Structure 1
């Protein structure tokens, strides 16, 4: 049983979706502290040929709160401006007509809890990409919440019957192959292969939001890209 566990991110890059697609059970890690300046509430899209941030507006965000203790603002005026920005940036993209209604549905989602809002986004895009991985919410798992870092991850894997744990390559410094092995779990890191596609007539900019990937690629092309990675 392959397990993946990550915090919920705002329209994350393709590597995030590769991880979800690669495992049998994916855990949205919603009961850990919010990280300011990370990817939970922001990502980058192509604006006038450059990578620029877009943000999910929040209420009461603090690194002293868990992700699922923070509210999404659901500011209709702000959301309308955000959608206008995305519209202007990608109106001429080949898959705009197919993708923009999904983005609009997600941004206009009325779920007030930040974790629930992001969960909705992850499930909706997974459905569009035909990713059938079982998605589980961390806070719904009965576990020892006094455990920290990799010990908590190992317990979640154990509870879910995991024999393999996949993590994004950025977590290599956080986890020990030996520690996982001693717990009967094989630790693997997913490293995304170089991925390029045509972004209008601009020089390619990588690691943008999945919005960018979806606007410029068919579902079939994205599915091909979802398996372009190596396990380390």
Structure 2
């Protein structure tokens, strides 16, 4: 059975750490963060946000525009944490996603390869959305030949210092892992404080990626779609080149 194996040891040198909630087949920028750090933490001890990116993402729909692909989740308390949420059992939603992607066969040159990748992902019987999404990240990274040294926060059993503000989860986790640098997506600039990090021995950086349009074989380019769409139209080498179109800055 295909399951996510728990990482037993941290890297010898984890200079740069990224910490993100485990999203469902996320967009290119998420994988750029993985590619340009030494260790990745799937962060699952916080509240699960409904109608977010945890159980769905966007792909092309036939004709024009985009549509969601979704992993439905089991009923849970509104305050449930990510680590407590499970996807619905069975194959129905997985088959639905594959059917939604069938229209790509007409114009996407790598439809067969991506379908095989997804079938490999969907072969996992895992129900935890945290572990399942991390398993999907691992499968995509292996397809792209990107090293992926990772663990799930709830598996790490870290002893953290006091967390008094939203940006201190990442700070305390970075310190507990012995990291010298924490790298965040650009969207967190408004509530992360470089001076605080520097005063506690951790450098704070933000990764900005320039996302150039690629051919989707249709008149209008749909930006910001799932990695699934990117893989449909590009080789792993081309995708890796996209992931290197980044700037790391404080």
TM-score by length of 2: 0.87
* Cα contact 2:84–2:128 (8 A) shared by 1: yes
Q: 2:71 aligned with 1:56, yes or no?
A: yes
Q: Counterparts of 1:25-44 in structure 2 under 5 Å?
A: 25-44=39-58
Displacement of 1:220 after TM fit? 0.6
Structure 2 gap ranges (5+) = 1-14
* Cα contact 2:207–2:247 (8 A) shared by 1: yes
Structure 1 gap ranges (5+) = none
Map Cα deviations across residues 78-132 of structure 1 (whole Å, 9 max, x no partner): 3212211112234531011111111122234310111111111011111111111
Map Cα deviations across residues 49-71 of structure 1 (whole Å, 9 max, x no partner): 21221111110245411111011
- 2:89 aligns with 74
Map Cα deviations across residues 147-178 of structure 1 (whole Å, 9 max, x no partner): 35222211110111111111111111121111
Distance 2:130 2:73 in 1: 11
Q: Report the RMSD for the aligned CA atoms in angstroms.
A: 1.6
Question: Larger % of strand: which?
Answer: 1
Distance 1:210 1:165 in 2: 24
Q: 2:237 aligned with 1:225, yes or no?
A: no
* Cα contact 1:79–1:108 (8 A) shared by 2: no
- 1:144 aligns with 160
- 1:213 aligns with 230
Pick from 35, 38, 44 the counterpart of residue 24 of structure 1.
Answer: 38
* Worse-superposed segment, 59-68 or 134-143: 59-68
Q: Secondary structure, in 3 states, of the residue corresponding to 2:215?
A: coil
Large movers: runs of 4+ above 6 Å: none
Q: 2:206 aligned with 1:189, yes or no?
A: yes
User: How many residues in Structure 1 have an aligned counterpart in Structure 2?
Assistant: 232
* Cα contact 1:43–1:208 (8 A) shared by 2: yes
Distance 1:133 1:78 in 2: 27
- 1:163 aligns with 180
Displacement of 1:23 after TM fit? 0.1
* Cα contact 1:57–1:75 (8 A) shared by 2: no
